[in-house]
């Protein structure tokens, strides 16, 4: 994970320009029927509405995220504004655009570096105590399910608008218990040791819209962690 905050305006500008450039190219081609844009759960989970569960109707409030003094405001701002602008552009130009909002993506990986999402999800195994505060409650999805969801939304003729793609929610205590029971070979912090950890407790993400469209998740936490750990061992991170 990056260790310093990036410039918000610069990141947002590049993100918006990149997305609009692709959408304009698709529009000019006259052959593209639908675009599926990968947004992020970060564009939905930071809202001061008091709800314990959020759906596609919720947008992140960038100023609220800033007030929480959490790391990553530039990312939240870029993802939120880019998705909003992309949807507006598509509507104004009659371009069929579907957006997909994944949370923490966990599972096997092909890259040589450790993906930030896997790094965070394995914090208790890797001993990264500084990141425990980000685990108060996390929403997760297996990388293969996310890929399948993209294909599903490309092929579903009725797909429209935003879709949350989250299969599991887990609190920091539940994660400690799960990892301790499943991987006794690792020194996982106990729930007693985690009592003093403070952080933002993200609302649960509802994938009801995606599931109602006919999509089904095939992987749970067992697959996510088994494959992530195996990849980390093969690539020398564990």
Q: Which of 34, 18, 38, 35 is nearest to 146 (CA)?
A: 38
Supply the residues annotated as catalytic: 79
Q: What whole-number distance in Å separates Cα of residue 68 and Cα of residue 48?
A: 10
> By C-alpha distance, which of 3, 11, 231, 236 is closest to 121?
231
- The C-alpha atoms of residue 158 and residue 97 are separated, in whole angstroms, by 12
CA atoms within 13 A on the CB side of 197: 25
H helix runs in the chain, sequence order: 8-29, 62-67, 73-92, 116-121, 123-126, 143-155, 172-182, 208-212, 221-234
Distance CA 59, CA 42 (A): 9
What is the spatial distance between Cα 38 and Cα 55, in angstroms, rounded to a whole number?
16
**Residue 107, burial from CB neighbour count under 10 angstroms (0-12, 13-18, 19+):** buried
């Amino acid at each position: 994970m990056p260790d310093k905050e990036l410039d918000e305006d610069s990141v947002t500008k590049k993100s918006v320009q990149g997305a609009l450039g692709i959408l304009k190219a698709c529009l000019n081609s006259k052959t593209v029927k639908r675009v599926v844009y990968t947004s992020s759960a970060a564009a939905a989970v930071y809202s001061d509405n008091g709800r314990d569960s959020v759906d596609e109707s919720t947008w992140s409030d960038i100023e609220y995220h800033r007030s929480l003094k959490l790391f990553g405001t530039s990312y939240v701002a870029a993802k939120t504004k880019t998705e909003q602008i992309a949807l507006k552009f598509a509507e104004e130009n009659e371009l069929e655009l579907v957006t997909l909002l994944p949370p923490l993506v966990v599972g096997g990986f092909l890259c040589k570096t450790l993906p930030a999402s896997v790094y965070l999800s394995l914090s208790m195994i890797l001993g990264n105590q500084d990141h425990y505060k980000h685990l108060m409650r996390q929403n997760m999805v297996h990388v293969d399910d996310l890929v399948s969801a993209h294909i599903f939304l490309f092929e579903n003729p009725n797909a429209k608008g935003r879709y949350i793609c989250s299969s599991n929610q887990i609190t920091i205590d539940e994660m400690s218990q799960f990892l301790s029971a499943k991987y006794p070979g690792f020194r996982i912090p106990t729930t007693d040791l985690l009592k003093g950890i403070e952080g933002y407790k993200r609302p649960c993400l509802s994938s009801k819209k995606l599931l109602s469209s006919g999509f089904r998740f095939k992987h749970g936490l067992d697959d996510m962690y088994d494959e992530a750990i195996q990849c980390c061992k093969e690539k020398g991170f564990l």
